[in-house]
């Protein structure tokens, strides 16, 4: 399966607990940073514009997580986003954080578009919808043999 977006994350000292491994809540912070980078770098719609200026929220509606291996200070994680479903106002993503020895953490992440004025679900704005469709199409092109 190919990707919609990918980046590398260095595991830093501040990510780790006294046992020397990533403290599990830090994975959720890394996940949010990955989503923000995807919106800014690949979709061209940074959160400060969507949320701060336009009042469009992209909250998590569901997050399923599988912790598979530990990560340690100094490890490099390849973080990747794959579309599973794109709806009218929500999307389901499969997200993987992989180390040199294989998968470390996997997420199934459902994000919903909302109005920050009403805090109710809404359809994706047209420019966001178009950016998501381009990202999905690029992923599908690379998935085809």
pLDDT > 70: what percent of the chain? 97
Three-state SS for 49-103 is: HHHHHCCEECCEEEEEEEECCCCECCCEEEEEEEEEEECCCEEEEEEEEEECCEE
The pTM (predicted TM-score) of the whole model is 0.93
Domains, in order of start, for the chain = 5-138 (3.10.129.10)
26-42 pLDDT per residue, tens: 999 999 999 999 999 99
Pairwise CA distance, residues 140 & 98, whole Å? 21
């Amino acid at each position: 399966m190919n990707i919609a977006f990918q980046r590398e994350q260095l595991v830093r000292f501040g990510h780790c607990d006294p046992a020397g491994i990533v403290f599990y809540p830090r994975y959720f912070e890394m996940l949010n940073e990955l989503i923000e980078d995807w919106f800014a770098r690949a979709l061209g719609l940074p959160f400060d514009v969507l949320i701060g200026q336009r009042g469009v929220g992209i909250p998590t509606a569901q997050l399923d997580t599988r912790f598979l291996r530990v990560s340690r200070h100094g490890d490099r994680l390849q973080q990747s986003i794959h579309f599973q479903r794109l709806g009218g106002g929500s999307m389901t993503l499969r997200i993987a954080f992989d180390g040199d020895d294989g998968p470390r953490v996997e997420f199934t992440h459902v994000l919903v578009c909302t109005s920050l004025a009403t805090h109710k679900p809404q359809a994706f704005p047209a420019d966001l919808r178009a950016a998501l469709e381009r990202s999905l199409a690029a992923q599908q092109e690379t998935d085809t043999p």
